[in-house]
Amino acid sequence: MCAAPNETPLLGASDAALLTEIDNLQLTARRVATGALAGVHRSLRRGSSIEFSEHKVYTPGDDIRHIDWHAYAKTDRFHVKQFEDETNLRLEILIDHSGSMEFSSEGLPSKLDYARTLASALTYLALRQGDATGLVTFSAEITDQLPPRASSTHLLEVFSRLVALRPSGPTGLSRCIDHFARTRRRRCVAIIITDLFDPSPDLTAVFKRMVAQRHDVAVLHVLDPAEVDFPYDNPSTFHCMEDERKLFLHPRTFRNRYVLEMQKFLDETARNMVASGIDYRLIKTSADPAHALGAFLRERASRSR
């Protein structure tokens, strides 16, 4: 059974080290978000409802096609029309912090650190445009849930929980995603950041059920380049990061088979995700996070045209 929501703040006012980490994460999020939005409409949505809901004051980045010129004539201020799907958008970011997310090759951030950067930038973007944003963390089970809110103070709370994340335990992705879907009564945009190292045969079926429930699901598949290319040469003992297994082998005799199997896994994953109606993007930790996030947003924007 997955954990119940935990609303307890993780930070005390005297925890200067964590507050510094949060400040650094906030600066990183702002930088990545700014770079990602170059030439991209800022919204995380795909399309919009035709049912008018309310007006909002125009801010740079809003779609000028939705400016209400009658409202401008009356108030001498630019207002844009918001539609039902836009005013009710709920973004939920699900981030994997299982043991395998600790992996990093030389000179690169760990997969968890990279995922933390993506999650913080997405949160910054969503809250800046007034969308309710929540955070779910998981490894073998759901470890924490922060319900979606759109308040200005919510950003600090999301960042504090991201900073406190530590890699641990095996991956229970399919079980946790299934629990998430069964406990969400309202539709949402769900962005799942994970390395997808879950051996469960039910994973594809779980994602299909999420889409059938009309959630807008995206998967950011984060891998270290070494996990794809296996660039090792010397005989070594390889340790599993999620249990006690060890394997001694000579990489040169194993590399060709490993690379073929990994490419097969990536190809099948991409096909299954697309067939299930999921936005899927493979991101290597060697990529600039701003460029990776910008490509993801551009792809979503192109599908809404």
Per-residue pLDDT of the chain (305 residues; tens, 9 = 90+): 344 344 444 444 446 776 788 888 888 998 998 888 775 655 666 554 444 445 666 666 566 776 777 777 778 777 766 554 444 578 999 999 999 999 999 999 999 999 999 999 999 999 888 889 999 999 999 999 999 998 878 999 999 999 999 999 999 999 999 999 999 988 899 999 999 999 888 999 999 999 999 999 999 999 999 999 999 888 777 877 777 788 888 788 889 999 999 999 999 999 999 999 999 999 999 999 999 999 999 888 777 65
Long-range contacts, 104-111 (Cβ 8 Å, 24+): 104/224, 104/285, 105/224, 105/225, 105/226, 105/231, 108/224, 108/225, 108/285, 108/286, 109/285, 110/167, 110/285, 111/195, 111/222, 111/223, 111/224, 111/285
Q: Which residues of the chain are in CATH 3.40.50.410 domains? A: 16-41+89-303
- The reported pLDDT for the residue numbered 85 is 47
What per-residue confidence (pLDDT) applies to 83?
52
The pLDDT score that the predictor gives to residue 284 is 98
Q: What global pTM score does this model have?
A: 0.80
Under CATH, which number does the domain 16-41+89-303 receive?
3.40.50.410
